């Protein structure tokens, strides 16, 4: 029986390249000279740490990061902006932005509900941090992929493990 998995997986190589070029630009920009402006990617924790002297400076660092990531082809929907600013030593502030990896339970329920309400001859089931969609033929699965892209344009969903 044909099936595919719906997943939410960031391309960490592109993210790493985007963060590296953003770090280079922060190091060379005139308005960041002599400040504590920095950026750090924690790949294992799926976090990006933005450090600056003020919340305005952290917003500027974020804008540089966004521009570099979009040039690498990474959608910004993979990131969850940090809610609060943490005080570090002196007058430094840090914000921790999370990188989404895997479909959360709430989004998985919305996806399965959308597949069931679509009146297509396919079924969806939640499997950990992915959603598996199965159907009788490939055409129904391709219609389901198109429907998911239309229903959830703000989510960078990927389809993988397409099996016949």
Span 51-99, pLDDT tens digits? 999 889 999 999 999 999 999 988 888 888 888 888 888 889 999 999 9
What is the C-alpha to C-alpha distance for residues 164 and 70, in angstroms, rounded to an integer? 34
**Residues 29/65, Cβ–Cβ less than 8 Å:** no
Instruction: Go through the domains of the chain in sequence order and give each one's CATH number.
Output: 3-9+102-163 (3.30.70.860), 12-99 (3.30.70.990)
Report CA torsion sign: 82, 84, 87, 91. positive
pLDDT at 49: 93
Q: Is the pTM of this model over 0.95?
A: no
At 123-136, the pLDDT tens digits run 989 988 899 999 88
For the chain, give the mean pLDDT.
89
At 24-57, the pLDDT tens digits run 999 998 988 888 899 999 989 999 999 999 889 9
Kindly tell me if the per-residue pLDDT of 164 is higher than 80. Answer: no
Identify the three-state secondary structure at position 127: strand
């Amino acid at each position: 029986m044909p099936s595919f998995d719906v997943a939410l997986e960031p391309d960490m190589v592109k993210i790493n390249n985007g963060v590296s070029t953003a770090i280079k630009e922060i190091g060379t920009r005139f308005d960041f000279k002599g400040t504590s402006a920095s950026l750090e990617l924690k790949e294992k924790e799926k976090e990006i740490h933005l450090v600056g002297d003020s919340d305005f400076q952290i917003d500027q660092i974020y804008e540089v990061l966004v521009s570099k990531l979009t040039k690498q082809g990474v959608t910004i929907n993979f990131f969850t902006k940090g809610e609060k600013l943490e005080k570090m030593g002196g007058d430094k502030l840090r914000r921790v932005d999370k990188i989404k990896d895997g479909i959360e339970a709430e989004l998985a329920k919305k996806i399965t509900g959308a597949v069931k309400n679509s009146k297509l001859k396919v079924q969806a089931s939640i499997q950990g941090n992915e959603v598996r969609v199965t159907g009788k033929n490939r055409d129904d699965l391709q219609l389901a992929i198109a429907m998911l892209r239309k229903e959830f344009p703000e989510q960078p969903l990927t389809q993988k493990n397409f099996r016949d």
